[in-house]
Amino acid sequence: MDTILIITKNILNEVDLEYKLKQLNFAVYCVTESILSSENIFVLRYFNTIIFSNNISNDEFEAGRKKISKSKRVFRLESEYAVQNEDHSYIPLKVSTGKINKEFKLEELREAMLSGTINKGDYTKEALNKKREMSLSKKEFSVLKCLYEGHGDTVNRSEICELVWGAVSNSSLSALSNIIRRLELKVYRTYLLEKSFDTKWGAGYSLSHDAHELFQSIGFFDT
């Protein structure tokens, strides 16, 4: 089931939208913009789709969108105008994201929610600029490349150790586990990609679909 999070300044304003989405069998939760604070941001990982209400200002929306993983679908409720500043001045709503309207019929809403892939794959400029920012050791790079070349298939731990260390030992297997943990953290900090690797206990590791798509789109391994 798709999980949807609505971010708003007033939860009562979103009752109708929340009801419609639940009629479509989505799991829907509505929270205030405080969810975007550093201590609460981790909660976003549990949702596939994020909807920003039209009572969220453009500045708040842009700041919030940068904190969201690129594997998420992101929508903005349509409005002719959006509040920009606390003094209630207004500017036209001009943002590059999926737009939905509270007046959508159920069929229109379902189509919009299933077709929206605003953040996913939108790696070009921002990710290219960060291509060189992720500092990897030689062995970290080798492990990541090995998994990338697996194209999503599980690569056996022993096979990785043979390729990277030249032999399989308790030491190399332990080092591999540590490298996977470091890579997961580095990819998240650089690209906000929450799940880079899949672990199959007793078998090995694979690169997640989103991670493979990211590294392919920015030519991370191109020489």
Q: What is the DSSP string of 27-44?
A: EEEEEEGGGGSTTTGGGG
Say if residue 114's pLDDT is above 80: no
pLDDT band at 79 (very low <50, low <70, confident <90, very high): low
Percent of the chain with pLDDT over 70: 77
Q: What is the pLDDT of residue 23?
A: 87
Cβ(73)–Cβ(116) under 8 Å? yes
Sequence-distant (≥ 6) Cβ neighbours of residue 106 within 8 angstroms: 20, 23, 24
β-partners of residue 91 are 82
pLDDT tens sequence across 9-48? 999 988 888 888 888 888 899 999 888 887 788 888 788 8
Tens-digit pLDDT profile for residues 155-184:
999 999 999 999 999 999 999 999 999 998
> Interhelix angle for 15-23 vs 106-115, to 10°?
80
pTM for the full model? 0.47
Mean pLDDT value across residues 45-52:
84
Q: Catalogue the E-assigned strands of the chain.
A: 3-8, 27-32, 49-52, 73-77, 81-83, 90-92, 98-100, 155-156, 197-200, 204-207
